[in-house]
Structure 1
Amino acid sequence: MASKAWNKKIVAALAAGAALVSVAGCGNSGSNNGSQAKKATTTDQIIKVDNTEPQSPLVPSNTNEMGGGKVIRYIFEGLVSYDAKGKQHMEVAKSITPNADATQYTIKLNDGWKFTNGEKVTASSFADAWSYAANVKNAQKQSSRMSIIKGYDDLQNPSVAPDAKLSGIEVKDPLTFVVTLKHPDSVFPIQVAHQSFFPLPTVAYKDMKAFGKNPIGDGPYKFKSWQPNTDILVVKNPDYKGSRKVANAGIDYRVYTSEDAAYSDLQSGNLDVMVEVPQSALKTFRSDSTVKAFVQPGSSYQGFVIPESLPHFALGKEGNLRRQAISMAINRKQIVSKIYQNTKTPATDFTSTLVPEHSSKLKNSDNLQYNPTKAKELWKQADEISKFTGTFKIAYNADAAHKPWVDAVSNSLKNTLGIDASGDAYPTFSDIRNQVTDRSIKTAFRSGWMLDYPTAEDYMTPLYSSSAADGHGSNDGDYKNPAFDAALAKALGQTDVAKRTADFRDAQDILLNDLPSIPLWNEDVAAAASTKTKNVQFDYTNLPTYNTITK
């Protein structure tokens, strides 16, 4: 188990190295009995892992939840990837070279990459996929990831042609394309690790929904089958050329609506790896002889979003007072200790200790500290502006272990602020995500975020930038503050690591004042695997490196 400081040093070095540099790449086979033995061995080497049912078909730019994301990241490969230690590896990209002010990048590809249908991966495979993601006519949930590229704003016009492309991408030849940005972005070579930047084969554009149900990628695994609400099976791609070498025959992503049921399967050997043990097992899983336990610092964020559309909570004096009061009314340390046996780390900012820009001493970090006296004062000041009535509800999905913390937070709000507060349970993750996506939800709602690549930018741009609001990204509360957008743009324009870190922290101070979501804690890795498994390790995203696992 790596120490917290060790992990932080690695990621810090990675972020420093990404600042405005050119990134370059580094029996008897004829017998029936023999065939049956081979088949049995292959089946045995399929790794069974827990998952949730994906909200949407498996299209990289239209997936912003982990049920689909866990699968997509293994059936596709992008320009670069990161290993379990946070080291960047060149994959399809041979080099990513910036100009002097980080407003333009020349990307050269390695020759020989193919999709699993035999089609070559070319510059157009990326350029067309990025344009498709950006075009408003395609309504992609990860559209805002392309907002940094020149021409994105033009593609947001409702009357834009369905086949209109990003003007900021120029394909020079089959293995070279140039990307021109709207403003400097020194972390662009890191950002392109995100799944929304994965390439697509030409067949995808004939029927994207059908493609998502039977995807064709270029990753270490290839899609085999999808039984809705049961499982998704992927198998080893023998033609994969990248660094994520596969040690098993495939991955069976099994859908569970109960974490306790998944853990029971793990104990009995019917499941190989579980990403997060249920709350009911937190006291015992470390000493449980039927499983292998894994505990290490993690990066995933847990909190709850209060939509800007919720009465009394819009950006402004009253809304800010109420959000700060709610945050100060929550005793994070007590909840983490009593409910989660200290397998989570109380939030001190909007990032995690696994990125170098993290800080516990920001100007407005006191808003994340338990302070019931001040919370009451702030709520009273807000009531003097406009009296709050009704019940403050926090929606959550009941197919994961959220009820204990939602109840604890609700009780804190009741006891400290003197208001009615309660949880609002939805049967499954997909149920709540569908209402969040179409903006029909009328309450606060739990939110979680898995780090996509190791920089603080990934906690900010997709979650809180104006360009990621209104269904164009993961800004599900539709928070829009020009001051935050400007501070974030300033940070991204810094090619000096120290200055960029300082500017990211300035941007965080704005978030800590406005609290578009209420940070609760970072999810540390608290996972388990079958005793039959070998080579299980967890990366900076809190997820196992499924390709390394054997049994």
Structure 2
Amino acid sequence: MKRNKIALSGIALLGVGGLTLAGCAGGGSTDDGTDEGATSAAIITTNGSEPENPLIPTATNEVGGGKILDAIFAGLVSYEADGTPVNDMAEEITVDDPQNLTVKIKEGQYFTDGEEVTADNFINAWNYGALASNAQYNSYFFEDIEGFSYDEDSELTGLEQVDDYTFTIALNKPASDFALRLGYSAYYPLPDAAFEDMAAFGENPIGNGPYMLDGEGAWQHDVQIDLVKNEDYQGADLLGGTVDVIDAIPPSALASFESDLGERAVNQPAAVFQSFTIAQNLPHFEGEEGQLRRAAISMAINRDEITETIFQGTRTPASDFTSPVIDGWSDSLEGAEVLEYNPEQAVELWAQADAISPWEGTFQIAYNADGGHDQWVDAVSNSIKNTLGIEASGAPYPTFAELRELVNSRTITTAFRTGWQADYPGLYNFLGPLYASNAGSNDGDYSNPEFDDLIAEGISSTDPAAANELFQQAQSVLLQDLPALPLWYSNVTGGYAETVENVEFGWNSVPLYHQITKAE
């Protein structure tokens, strides 16, 4: 059989500096019409990054691992290019009322070890992800289900199996976008084999999605991971050709990639937000002094100049904490002027903070050196240094995993780069998981009861317009406190070979691999 393979490799291995996006040649035909050289045919080589953790859906909240999980697992729903949810594993999802849902799964869908996907696979996976002792990064996504507890091991009593293919979800409070969330990786099912040895499973996961690992040794850590077509997946049609696709043009090529690739260049808005975080406990960044210094630093950053010179216009200066491609986005929030370059006001605010406690030391922004962040970090640091007259610089760490280890253990002593690629196309997703008290991705340990109350009221509203208004009010609180400093929204910048057709990038910047076909 001809096999379709994806090699998700590190960007340094792709030779993207020259933008050579050649596909790999397939083997010749045999007498019976099948292809020789099957394992090298129809290869898509795309960029990626080493996952921070083993490939367990509830343990992964970063892009490198998420891209792979989205290829090898399938959830109850998936999202079209514009973010519209469509049923995948689910036959039907019924919102009985704002706190109760009924999910019916399609019969005859399988994990790659042959186990059929049933209601239990979702219930067991979600209970594992929610269990406090399992310390899963994505446990926050089960917070709204009855029985959830941050403090002790507690079964999600809101999950109840009706029959082999049907289960109900009872929420402990209204969550108007809960059905929309169900395509995110935290809600993927797990096979029974996962619970025999979760650590081993994370190194060689068994999924139910369009692709699966290509045997033992498929994941070559820090090099690449090889995936092949899952013949049993019953979702959209898979690719039928050969292509290299890239979804992250490096800064050195941004000036020329559109002219080099012509109509094969991709430069479109995506649900990706970039920032850096100053933890609440850092010296000089607590209380009133910290609020003044955060605002001063924000106003000291010339976002327009940096997005134009470093990113060649492929980034847009941020005016909020979300993304322009998400319904409810606004560029006129109360307090958004703190995100505008205003050197005079920045100096004045810094002086007010010095009157509380004189500044000493160097302001640094930590980043992973393997992610191509050095240019913008240097530019932001220089903008802060030149405006405020303080020492400011980047603090590089060799790998993403090393940086995240310090962030997750709360031992990092500097500001650090952060960002968000949306899990599902909803405004709340940019706010609750990052800034709600105790949220799983609240890296700076921010907590403000006013913000918490506003997003809780918003997510409980069944009127989308009213909910978005409350989310906008919540963002005005964030603009006062600046738990993270918004920088810019990212476009997806990529390209593809001239031998393929139907290449489309989704709302979240990820190529829709299953749609790609080879041009005759």
Q: CA deviation at 1:32?
A: 9.9
Match of 2:491 among 521, 524, 530: 524
Pairing 1:200–2:190 present: yes
Given that 1:397 and 1:427 are in contact with CA atoms closer than 8 Å, whether structure 2 keeps it comes out as: yes
SS in 2 for 1:99: strand
Given that 2:30 and 2:36 are in contact with CA atoms closer than 8 Å, whether structure 1 keeps it comes out as: no
Match of 1:229 among 213, 218, 222: 222
Matches within 5 A, 1:463-474: 463-468=434-439, 473-474=440-441
Pairing 1:368–2:339 present: yes
Partner of residue 111, structure 1? 107
Matches within 5 A, 1:127-206: 127-153=123-149, 156-157=151-152, 160=153, 164-206=154-196
Structure 1 residues 319-328 or 524-533, which shifts more?
524-533
Partner of residue 321, structure 2? 350
Partners of 1:233 and 1:291 lie apart in 2 by 29
Partners of 1:343 and 1:524 lie apart in 2 by 6
Given that 2:270 and 2:490 are in contact with CA atoms closer than 8 Å, whether structure 1 keeps it comes out as: yes
SS in 1 for 2:124: helix
SS in 1 for 2:102: strand
Partner of residue 3, structure 2? none
Partner of residue 26, structure 1? none
Pairing 1:239–2:232 present: yes
Matches within 5 A, 1:476-491: 476-491=443-458
Given that 1:410 and 1:421 are in contact with CA atoms closer than 8 Å, whether structure 2 keeps it comes out as: yes
SS in 2 for 1:467: coil
Matches within 5 A, 1:257-276: 272-276=244-248
Partners of 1:372 and 1:290 lie apart in 2 by 39
Match of 2:275 among 303, 308, 323: 303
SS in 2 for 1:288: helix
Partners of 1:98 and 1:83 lie apart in 2 by 21
Q: Percent identity?
A: 46
SS in 2 for 1:67: helix
Partners of 1:291 and 1:211 lie apart in 2 by 41
Match of 1:93 among 90, 94, 111: 90
Partner of residue 78, structure 1? 75
Task: Please list the CA deviations of residues 99-125 of structure 1 after superposition, one character each: whole Å capped at 9, or x if unmatched.
Answer: 33x112122222122111111111111
Pairing 1:496–2:478 present: no
Pairing 1:341–2:312 present: yes
Partners of 1:513 and 1:91 lie apart in 2 by 41
SS in 2 for 1:300: strand
Which residue identity is paired with 1:404?
Answer: Q
Structure 1 residues 387-396 or 167-176, which shifts more?
167-176
Q: CA deviation at 1:467?
A: 3.1
Return closer, same or farther for 1:249/1:116 CA change in 2, 3 Å cut-off: farther
Q: CA deviation at 1:427?
A: 1.5
Task: Please list the CA deviations of residues 385-428 of structure 1 after superposition, one character each: whole Å capped at 9, or x if unmatched.
Answer: 22221111001111222111111111111121121110011122
SS in 1 for 2:116: coil
Q: CA deviation at 1:41?
A: 5.3
Pairing 1:60–2:60 present: no
Q: CA deviation at 1:504?
A: 1.0
SS in 1 for 2:444: coil
Structure 1 residues 434-443 or 331-340, which shifts more?
434-443
Pairing 1:417–2:409 present: no
Partners of 1:187 and 1:115 lie apart in 2 by 28
Q: CA deviation at 1:37?
A: 6.4
Given that 1:291 and 1:529 are in contact with CA atoms closer than 8 Å, whether structure 2 keeps it comes out as: no
Q: CA deviation at 1:299?
A: 2.0
Given that 2:125 and 2:189 are in contact with CA atoms closer than 8 Å, whether structure 1 keeps it comes out as: yes
Partners of 2:416 and 2:422 lie apart in 1 by 20
Partner of residue 281, structure 1? 253
Partners of 1:112 and 1:403 lie apart in 2 by 49
Return closer, same or farther for 1:291/1:437 CA change in 2, 3 Å cut-off: farther
Q: CA deviation at 1:285?
A: 0.9
Given that 1:48 and 1:273 are in contact with CA atoms closer than 8 Å, whether structure 2 keeps it comes out as: yes
Q: CA deviation at 1:288?
A: 1.5
Partners of 1:117 and 1:526 lie apart in 2 by 36
SS in 2 for 1:370: coil
Runs of 5+ in structure 1 lacking a partner? 1-30, 251-270
Q: CA deviation at 1:289?
A: 5.2
Partners of 2:187 and 2:36 lie apart in 1 by 36
Partners of 1:96 and 1:323 lie apart in 2 by 44
Pairing 1:444–2:415 present: yes
Partner of residue 17, structure 2? none
Q: CA deviation at 1:42?
A: 5.4
Partners of 1:299 and 1:197 lie apart in 2 by 20
SS in 1 for 2:36: helix
SS in 1 for 2:370: coil
Which residue identity is paired with 1:48?
Answer: T
Partners of 2:29 and 2:456 lie apart in 1 by 64
Partners of 1:52 and 1:193 lie apart in 2 by 22
Return closer, same or farther for 1:174/1:417 CA change in 2, 3 Å cut-off: same
Given that 1:312 and 1:386 are in contact with CA atoms closer than 8 Å, whether structure 2 keeps it comes out as: yes
Q: CA deviation at 1:33?
A: 4.6
Match of 2:503 among 531, 536, 548: 536
Return closer, same or farther for 1:247/1:525 CA change in 2, 3 Å cut-off: same
Tell me the C-alpha RMSD between the 2 structures. Answer: 2.0
Aligned residues: 488
Partners of 2:362 and 2:186 lie apart in 1 by 38
* Structure 1 outlier segments of 4+, above 4 Å: 31-37
Match of 1:124 among 120, 123, 127: 120
Runs of 5+ in structure 2 lacking a partner? 1-27
Partner of residue 21, structure 2? none
Pairing 1:211–2:201 present: yes
Partner of residue 426, structure 2? 455
Given that 1:272 and 1:533 are in contact with CA atoms closer than 8 Å, whether structure 2 keeps it comes out as: no
Q: CA deviation at 1:235?
A: 0.9
Which residue identity is paired with 1:198?
Answer: Y
Given that 1:285 and 1:291 are in contact with CA atoms closer than 8 Å, whether structure 2 keeps it comes out as: no
SS in 1 for 2:438: helix
Given that 1:186 and 1:494 are in contact with CA atoms closer than 8 Å, whether structure 2 keeps it comes out as: yes
Partners of 2:250 and 2:416 lie apart in 1 by 20
Q: CA deviation at 1:97?
A: 2.0
Task: Please list the CA deviations of residues 37-79 of structure 1 after superposition, one character each: whole Å capped at 9, or x if unmatched.
Answer: 6133552202111111111111010011111111100110111
SS in 1 for 2:103: strand
Which residue identity is paired with 2:139?
Answer: S
Partners of 2:516 and 2:260 lie apart in 1 by 21
Structure 1 residues 324-333 or 282-291, which shifts more?
282-291
Task: Please list the CA deviations of residues 298-356 of structure 1 after superposition, one character each: whole Å capped at 9, or x if unmatched.
Answer: 22111111111211223x32211111111111111111111111111110001111011
Task: Please list the CA deviations of residues 116-138 of structure 1 after superposition, one character each: whole Å capped at 9, or x if unmatched.
Answer: 11111111111111111011111
